[in-house]
Amino acid sequence: MVMKLFTNPYRYLFILLLGTYSYLNITWLETFHYYGIHEDAFFEWLTITMVCLLLWEGNRLIESMLRKRKPILSFKLHPLLAFFLASLPLAWFSGMIPFHAIAGWYFRKSPEEMRIASKLVTAFAFRVNLFLHSLNALVFYVNRSRQKELEAEALHRSQAQASLQSIRNQVNPHFLFNNLNVLSALIIKKSAEANHFVEAFASVYRYILNTKERELVPLREELEFIQPYLFLLEKRFESGLQVDIQVPESAGTLKVVPASLQMLVENAIKHNVVSAQRPLRLSIRLNGEHELLVENSLQRKTDVGESTQIGLDNISKRYRLISGKDITVREDLEHFRVVIPLLK
């Protein structure tokens, strides 16, 4: 049972306020005058406050005992109902003890003189006990609702992390397949650039491995990573690919999804003609303060078939899972543009 009302660290302040409020309320209604009770105001307030104190502390002890004991009955009671039923004898004693201590022992009142006042105090004790348990039930259900929300959020996060890891795993084989083909062609040609290509390839793949478990990386790191990757592409396409990067240093601390630029460049090359006669022009620049624009000239291949948009879908899902934001894709007759969020 999650019941924090009776164990609240400020409970004595609440008891004092409850006792004072109850006394003022009873006085305003002229209850003492109506029933012919004419005692010192301090002792009237003291009796009411002691009733509240005994009820609160008594319920705290009962709650502690109920939490430790196993249920005696064969059928199960709701913990709040069991708690309330166990508190009923306490309500009677909480009314009788302070009343008889003050009226009977201190003021030496006779049983007949105390009869009406005794009933009033007992009724008051039961009403305060019902109020406290109603308030405790509210606290109980609010706590349980919060706990369910936390559990649902934890489940959602674990599912999101699993989905994110699945999406990340798509990057490695896709990257390997494309670049091993390029390396194979260079080796067959016995190109002197093969060793340089291997070094750049290792640098790129090292970055992908190092950022595999990271959700976001600074834009500065992503731009540093894209340089060796562009070198790999230049060895394959030479003057057929023209890349222009214009990103100020001030934007370097903003965050992006790892390898997102590489996937966008790769996506542009996959779907467009890249040749010396028709060079593919690709631009990377800021689009406002918190967006990055990756734009390429549109010269679609005729034999590539229908696009599966795996690369764009990969980036989009990762952004949605991590930040709740999404990429923006725009296209006209001459250009294909992808805008990715830059996150703080």
Q: What is the pLDDT of residue 341?
A: 93
Residue range of the domain that includes 49? 11-162
Portion of the chain with pLDDT greater than 70, in percent:
82
How would you class 296 by CB atoms within 10 Å of its CB: exposed for 0-12, middle for 13-18, buried for 19 or more? buried
Choose the final residue of a domain: 116, 145, 162. Answer: 162
Inter-CA distances, 145 with 2, 36, 310, Å: 11, 48, 39
Looking at the structure, tell me whether residues 255 and 282 fall in a common domain. Answer: yes
Compute CA distances 24 → 9, 20, 31, 252, whole Å. 25, 6, 11, 65
Q: What is the pLDDT of residue 286?
A: 92
H or E element in which residue 267 lies: helix 260-271
CATH number for position 253: 3.30.565.10
Residue 127 shares a structural domain with residue 188: no
Sign of the four-CA dihedral 210, 214, 215, 217: negative
User: Quick one: pLDDT band at residue 74, thresholds 50, 70, 90?
Assistant: very low
- Output the pTM of the full model: 0.51
Q: Are residues 142 and 173 in the same domain?
A: no
* Domain total in the chain: 2
Based on the fold, state whether residues 24 and 103 are members of the same structural domain.
yes
| Boundary-marking domain end, from 141, 162, 183 | 162
CA distance 232 to 238: 10
Q: How confident is the model at residue 73 (pLDDT cuts 50, 70, 90)?
A: very low
DSSP letters for 162-185: HHHHHHHTTHHHHHHHHHHHHHHH
Q: Are 243 and 231 in contact (CB under 8 A)?
A: no
